[in-house]
Each structure stands twice: as C-alpha cells, then as structure tokens.
Structure 1
C-alpha cells in the first residue's frame, strides 16, 4: 500500500485529502469477506453515523 497523492479531492470535505492505493491481494488478505466492486457509488444516501458493509466498501 502506498500514498498515491496528498492532493485528492472529496465532495463534502474542504481542502486536500490523502488518496492511497493498495494491491488487491493485500486488501483481500486483511479484509476477508468484503467484495470489491467496480461501481463504488452508494445506492443510498449515507449519514455520518452509518456503518456496515456499504460504509466498508466505500472506505
């Protein structure tokens, strides 16, 4: 895993954010049971206190 940039942009967050990249094999080894999907846009509106698989996939 490595930092891709420290100048990423995320809607709803002012200023720059770190964007990291991780090898899929490593991700799968530390996150068993999480499915990687191509479309990471959530199908529902998320709230600050939400948790669960949708949040984990989004992260």
Structure 2
C-alpha cells in the first residue's frame, strides 16, 4: 500500500513523497515531475529506466 504524505509545486514541478508499506517494512520514496520542455537527455534516462541518473542532482 502507498500513501502520499507530501505534495508541493516547486519551480513549476510537482514534488511528491509517498509512504510505502511493504511486507519487509515501511519506507518513503520521492518523485519529481519531468516536463516535456526539460532536456531530452533527462527524459531519455527516465524512459530507459535509468532513474538513478537523477540521484546526483539537488
């Protein structure tokens, strides 16, 4: 089960934090919206399943 515990618009993007209740325990995960006007390389990384590319960005 997942539950949105935080949602805010930041610099024109939606940022969301979800609480995930999994069989091995509870944890939190965050998401930020990627826009169509963002660089193609960003969108391409997401489409290729390489979301860890964004972990180094603040």
- RCO greater where, 1 or 2, for CA within 8 Å and sep 6 or more? 1
The two structures have a TM-score, normalised by structure 2, of 0.34
The two structures have a TM-score, normalised by structure 1, of 0.33
Q: Identify the structure with the greater strand proportion.
A: 2
